[in-house]
Structure 1
Amino acid sequence: MTTETNIGDVVQLSPDAGAFAACFMVVTEPKPWGAQGYVRVPGGGDAYFRAKHEYMTHIGRAEWIRSDETEGQP
């Protein structure tokens, strides 16, 4: 992934990313090495995941994200 990652971005995880291979993740914490975010699990809430840049592809921006992830953001 070559673009800057921001809170609220949606990325698709690589088929080689592990437990959430090919899932869409909402970024909650951009990191120098990649990002932390959550994958929505239908009927089960959210599962948090950390992915390196090489395991993410930028898709776009989420229209809706968890309200607790936006506290303190402009």
Structure 2
Amino acid sequence: MHWFVPVELSKRGGSGGADADKQVELVAEALAEEMAARRAQPLYGPPAGLASHPIATVRLLLKRLALTPAMGT
């Protein structure tokens, strides 16, 4: 199961000129950090004002869906 939550990429340079592959990497890193924070502190507030599901999140989801169980993550 994959959890996708709103992330804020503006601090990471994810908006604007980065290519699609770089944006997917930034989203994957941001999601990993956000999920680690949520595991450490299960009671969390609403997402930050600029947090969203950018197009790169959809690309990451499609990339993960294309993997078969034998391929791993």
TM-score, with structure 1 as normaliser: 0.28
Give the number of the structure whose residues are more often strand, by fraction.
1
Q: Which structure would you say has the larger Rg?
A: 2
* RCO higher in structure (CA 8 A, sep ≥6): 2
TM-score, with structure 2 as normaliser: 0.28
